[in-house]
Amino acid sequence: MIAYVAVGADDIALAKRFYAAFLPALGYTCDEGPEGLSYALPIAPGQPPAGPDFYVKPPYNGQHATAGNGSMTAFEASHQQQVRDLHAAALAAGGTDEGAPGFRPAYGPRFYVCYLRDPQGNKIAIFSSNPNEPGRDD
C-alpha cells in the first residue's frame, strides 16, 4: 500500500491555490505548516487510513523543485461530471491542460480522465471509472 505521495513546489501559495481547487471536493483536508502542505483523507475511528496522503513541499535539499519526468499522481473522482468540474477548477487556479476530460482509446471503456500540470509542472490525473455511468462504447 502506498502511504503517501510528495511533489515539490517552489511557491507553496501558488501550489495551495491549485490543489485547493479540487482536492477538498475529493474529500481531502489540508494542514499547512512551515514545511508545506499536507493533504489527507479523513480517518474513521478505529479504521486505517483510507488512501495515501499527498504532500506539497519545498525540496528538503534547498534546491529548486522540478517535476518528475514520467511521474504522475492520479486522484479518483466519483463521476464524470466531477472530473469535468475539477479540471475546470484546476485550470482556473493556475494549472495547465495536459488532456481534456474524456475517454481514451488505450484505456478501459469506463475510464474517464483528464490530465493537468500544477504550477510547478507536476503531472496530475483526475479520473472516474463509475460503472453506473455511460462508457466509451455505450
Q: Which of 69, 94, 83 is nearest to 12 (CA)?
A: 94
The H-or-E segment that residue 17 falls in is helix 12-20
Q: Which of 19, 18, 21, 75 is nearest to 52 (CA)?
A: 75
The alpha carbon of residue 28 and the mean position of all alpha carbons in its chain are separated, in whole angstroms, by: 10
The alpha carbon of residue 105 and the mean position of all alpha carbons in its chain are separated, in whole angstroms, by: 22
Taking the CA atoms of 59, 71, 5 and 28 in sequence, report the sign of the dihedral they define. positive
* Domains of the chain with CATH codes: 4-59+66-128 (3.10.180.10)
Mean pLDDT of 20-36: 96
What is the C-alpha separation between 22 and 47, in angstroms, rounded?
25
CA distances (Å), origin 35, targets 50, 61, 66, 68, 95: 23, 13, 17, 20, 22
Mean pLDDT of 123-130: 97
State the pLDDT at residue 44.
Answer: 87
State the pLDDT at residue 34.
Answer: 87
State the pLDDT at residue 3.
Answer: 86
**How many CB atoms within 10 Å of residue 106?**
6
State the pLDDT at residue 51.
Answer: 84
Whether the predicted pLDDT of 1 surpasses 80: no
- Where do we find the cell 508545506? 36
